[in-house]
Chains A and B, each alone.
Chain A
């Protein structure tokens, strides 16, 4: 089985811009979760989608949003970028939602905001 893929792998954006990241889960996985990883805060949960519905949401501002398509591919959008949004954004797919089963992570998108 192909693993989780994320595009793009690297991005450089300017403050105030917006960005869209994409994630394709493992075939058959309907749950996609997004995480932000920074050296100071570690891995922080953004949100989870299951069968095109946002099932769970972390404690991030409304500038962070996402969606999931019928083929389970997911996108994450960050609007009005801030310097503090610089991070590695990871998506993970799993069979069930809510942390009930193992998650398979993609390689991540490294976002730099200048």
Chain B
């Protein structure tokens, strides 16, 4: 079925290193959203990308939406311990007349101080 694949599942980095997580969809997406969930917390919305080839930045975070609108990436420059958490991408999918926001399994980021 339609799904969002996210890699890697886990990433351990030294503080100060860069980090990237990738998201691939089986179908073209109208938009892609990114969320962050801290340990013990709930997902928090980070950004929504809508346009083909779109790039958006939030301080040390850079988000990209692929030209074909089927893949996306989140890059963090110079990670800090506050970046620890699980990063999810999510896209809207339709099936049998129903639309739902489908989440990837997430990339769990650990930052070693």
Q: Which residues of A contact B (CB under 8 A)?
A: 33, 35, 42-43, 45, 48, 55-58, 90, 92, 97-108
Q: Which residues of B contact A (CB under 8 A)?
A: 30-31, 33, 35, 41-45, 48, 88, 90-94, 98-106
Helix, strand, loop or mixed for chain B's interface?
strand
| C-alpha gap A58/B101 in the complex (Å) | 10
A104 surroundings in chain B (CB, below 8 A)? 45
CB distance from B65 to the nearest CB of A (A): 15
Q: Which of A33, A101, A102, A106 contacts B42 (CB 8 A)?
A: A106
| C-alpha gap A5/B84 in the complex (Å) | 24
B44 surroundings in chain A (CB, below 8 A)? 105
A56 surroundings in chain B (CB, below 8 A)? 98-100
Is there contact, CB below 8 Å, between B31 and A100?
yes
Q: Which residue of B lies closest to A4 (CB)?
A: B42
Q: A42-B88, A56-B100 are in contact. List 15 more A-B contacts (CB 8 A).
A: A42-B105, A42-B106, A43-B43, A43-B88, A56-B98, A56-B99, A58-B98, A58-B100, A90-B42, A99-B92, A99-B93, A103-B33, A103-B101, A105-B35, A105-B43
